[in-house]
A and B are shown apart, each in its own frame.
Chain A
Amino acid sequence: MTLTVEHATMPVLGRLPLHSSRAEQIAHIAEAAKQIRIQDLALVHHAGAGHIGGDFSAIDILATLYGAVLDISPATVDDTERDRFILSKGHVAGALYTTLAAFGFLPVEELATFLKPLSALNGHPNRNKVAGVEANTGPLGHGLPIAVGHALSAKLDVSMRRTYVLVGDGELQEGSNWEAMMAASQYQLDRLTVIVDRNRLQQGATTQETNDLDPLPEKAAAFGFAVVEVNGHDHGELLDVLSAVPFRPGRPTFVIAHTHKGHPISFMSDNVAWHHRVPDAGEYQQALKELA
C-alpha cells in the first residue's frame, strides 16, 4: 500500500499550558517532532529540493523550543516582549516552516507552496514574508551576531525576554560567529542561548575532515560562555537544558546538541549525501514507514 501525506492533515499543535507536567511536555514535543518530520519529508519530496539531512538533525530542537520553551505564539508574534528564536542555519528553512505550521504560525496548506514561484516560503527564511521568522538568514554566520543584537536590545530595555539562536556546527567556521561570541561575553548577555546543531557533517564532508571545530566545548568556554552538552534528539534533555538557562549568571549559554544528520531515518542518518538530496518515491515510502 502506498502511503501519502497531505499537508492539510497535520494537526495544529500549540504550546502546552504552563502547569503541564514534564512528562506531558515531553510527550507533546515528541508528537510535534514526529508530525514535523512527516510533513518535512513530504515538503522536500514534493518540492524536489531542500535540505532534509539538516532539517531532521534540527527538528527535535525546534519542536522543543516551540513546543515548551519559547514564550511566543501566533497571537504574540509581534509582541515586543516575545522571546526571539533565530534560525542561523537558514538552509533548513523547510524544518522551520513545518515547525511554524505545526504550532499555528502559518497555514498548514501553505507548506505545499514551498519553493514554488511567488511563494512566501523561499529556500531560506524571510522575516517580511513569514510570520514568526525573526531574521533573513541563509548566508552562514549571520544569525549569531543578529541574536547578540536582540539580546542587547532586551538588556537595554531591562526586559526578561530571551534570545535563542540555532547555528550549524559547520557554520561555526565563519569568523563572524566568534566576533559575536566575544561581544556576547563582553556584554554579559546571559539571556542569550546559542544552540549548536552538532551533527559533525557539513555539505561535503565531516567538520573534522574540513576545518575541525574541536575542542568545541573548551573553545566556547574560553570565549566566556557557560557550556552544556546534550543529546540533541532527547526531548527530555533538551527541555531541561533549554528551560534552565542561564546556567551561570552574567554568562551567555552555549548548548552543544549532539545530533545526527538525517535522524532517525536508517538510510539518511549520518550520511553526508543527504545534505540536500531529495528522497525518490521508494525512499519517501521507506522513510514514512520508519517515521510511523
Chain B
Amino acid sequence: MTVLETRSIADQPRYDCRDAYVETLAELAESDHRIVGVVNDSVGSSKLTSFRKAFPDRLINVGIAEQDMVGVASGLANGGRIPFVSAASCFLTGRALEQIKADVAYSNTNVKLCGMSPGVAYGELGPTHHSVEDIAWLRAIANLPVIVPADPIETAAVLRWAAASVGPVFIRVSRMSVPKVYSEDYEFHLGKAITVRDGSDVTLISNGTILWRALAAAERLAEEGISARVLSMPTVKPLDTDAVVAAARETAGIVTAEEAVSGGGLGGAVAETVVQHHPARVSILGFPEFAPTGSAGYLMDRCGLTPEGIADAARRLVTTGT
C-alpha cells in the first residue's frame, strides 16, 4: 500500500494538499447533493473558487464570523446537509472552540471541520496565525476524531471517508508543499497507524507535513546501521494504541515529530499511551513556545523538525537512551 521509495523521498515532486482537498470535495459534491461548503471569507485561501463556480448555492460564506460559521454548519447538518467547514485552522479552532465542543461534538452533528493551513504554514505572519495548538485543543473534546493527513493522496482519502461516515470530524489540510508518501491505492482507516517503513531499533511516529521528514530521517539512520520503524499516525484521536505499545515493546524508544505544540498533540497522545501500557522513552519534537519571525521552513528547521533533527533525536535514544 505504501510507497517505500524512501531513497528519494526528499527529492520527489511537492504538492499543496489544498488542491487535493478542493478536487475531492467537488467530486463528492457532484455525487451527493447534501454536501455543502461553509467558509468565513476563506474562499480563496481554501482554494474553493472553482467549487463556488460549480456549486454557487452550495458554498455558504458567512463572512468573517467563525462562531456563526460553526453554528450555521451545525444547523445545516440538522437540516440534512453534510457541511464541510473550511477556514484557517487558527481561527476555526481558536475562535469557535466552544461551538466545536457544544454544537458539533457534544451535539453529535454531521459536521466536517477542515482546518486549513495549520501549524506554522503562515510562518512570517506570526503566532496569532499559527495553528500549533489546534490538535491539543481538539484532542480534549470527546466525540471528535482528529485527523492529520500527510500528503494529497491521504487528504483525498480522509475526505472521502469523512463524507461517508456520519458524525463530527476535524481534518487538518496543509498548504505546505509535501511529496507523496502513499501510493494511489491508499485506504484510510480511522484510528489505524500505517507502518510506512519497518524497523527494529527505534520508532519514529509522525503525521502531516512532517511524515516525509521522518521517512527521510529513517533513510539517514539506515546509512548508519540504525533500523528505524516509521509509523504514520494520521489519526491522533482515537490513537492506535496497539501500534504504539508494540513500538514501545519492540524498539529502544519512540520519537514523535509533528507540526504542532510539543505538549498535548500527537507526542502527548503517544506519551500518555506508553506510560499507561508499556513505559518507554519518548522524545517529543514540536514547537515548545511561540515562534519567532520567519518562514515556515525556517521555523521548522529551528525547532528540529527536519530529517536531521529527527534522526538526531533517534540516535540519542538508541545510543544513550535519552
> Is B102 an interface position by the 8 A CB rule?
yes
A146 contacts B75, C-beta separation under 8 Å:
yes
A179 contacts B78, C-beta separation under 8 Å:
no
Q: How far is the CA of A152 from the CA of B80 in the complex (A)?
A: 11
B103 contacts A183, C-beta separation under 8 Å:
no
Closest chain-A Cβ to B172's Cβ sits at a distance in Å of 23
Closest chain-B Cβ to A155's Cβ sits at a distance in Å of 9
> Is B76 an interface position by the 8 A CB rule?
yes
Q: How far is the CA of A154 from the CA of B58 in the complex (A)?
A: 13
Interface string of A188-206 (1 = CB under 8 A from B): 0000000000000000000
Contacts A153-B81, A175-B67 given: A148-B72 contact, CB under 8 Å? yes
CB-CB under 8 A from B74, the residues of chain A are 135, 145-146, 149
> Is A87 an interface position by the 8 A CB rule?
no
Q: How far is the CA of A154 from the CA of B72 in the complex (A)?
A: 12
CB-CB under 8 A from A153, the residues of chain B are 75-76, 78-81
> Is B57 an interface position by the 8 A CB rule?
yes
Contacts A80-B80, A176-B67 given: A151-B75 contact, CB under 8 Å? yes
Closest chain-B Cβ to A128's Cβ sits at a distance in Å of 6
Q: How far is the CA of A128 from the CA of B71 in the complex (A)?
A: 17
In the complex formed, the residue of B with least CB distance to A192 is B75
Closest chain-A Cβ to B269's Cβ sits at a distance in Å of 26
Q: How far is the CA of A220 from the CA of B224 in the complex (A)?
A: 70
Residue in contact with B67 in the complex, picked from A145, A152, A182, A187, CB distance below 8 Å: A145
B residues 63-85 touching A (CB-CB < 8 Å): 63, 65, 67-81, 83
B98 contacts A139, C-beta separation under 8 Å:
yes
A182 contacts B65, C-beta separation under 8 Å:
yes
CB-CB under 8 A from B83, the residues of chain A are 149
| Interface magnitude class on chain B | 20 to 34
In the complex formed, the residue of B with least CB distance to A86 is B75
Contacts A128-B108, A136-B106 given: A149-B65 contact, CB under 8 Å? no
Closest chain-B Cβ to A147's Cβ sits at a distance in Å of 6
CB-CB under 8 A from A33, the residues of chain B are none
Residue in contact with B78 in the complex, picked from A142, A150, A180, CB distance below 8 Å: A150
A residues 142-173 touching B (CB-CB < 8 Å): 142, 144-154, 156-157, 163
> Is B266 an interface position by the 8 A CB rule?
no
> Is A116 an interface position by the 8 A CB rule?
no
B76 contacts A179, C-beta separation under 8 Å:
no
How many contacts between A and B, using CB within 8 angstroms?
110
CB-CB under 8 A from A152, the residues of chain B are 60, 72, 75-76, 79
Q: How far is the CA of A137 from the CA of B77 in the complex (A)?
A: 16
A179 contacts B62, C-beta separation under 8 Å:
yes
B residues 82-127 touching A (CB-CB < 8 Å): 83, 98-99, 102-103, 106-108
CB-CB under 8 A from A53, the residues of chain B are none
> Is A264 an interface position by the 8 A CB rule?
no
Closest chain-A Cβ to B56's Cβ sits at a distance in Å of 11
Q: How far is the CA of A84 from the CA of B76 in the complex (A)?
A: 12
> Is A252 an interface position by the 8 A CB rule?
no
Q: How far is the CA of A152 from the CA of B98 in the complex (A)?
A: 22
Residue in contact with B107 in the complex, picked from A127, A150, A154, A187, CB distance below 8 Å: A127
| Given contact pairs A137-B102, A146-B103, a sample of 19 additional A-B residue pairs in the complex whose CB atoms are under 8 Å apart | A126-B106, A134-B78, A135-B74, A135-B103, A136-B107, A139-B102, A144-B71, A145-B75, A146-B75, A148-B75, A152-B72, A152-B76, A152-B79, A153-B78, A157-B79, A163-B75, A179-B63, A179-B65, A182-B63
**Residues of B in contact with A (beta carbons under 8 Å apart):** 36, 57-58, 60, 62-63, 65, 67-81, 83, 98-99, 102-103, 106-108
**Residues of A in contact with B (beta carbons under 8 Å apart):** 80, 84, 126-128, 134-139, 141-142, 144-154, 156-157, 163, 175-176, 179-180, 182-183, 186-187
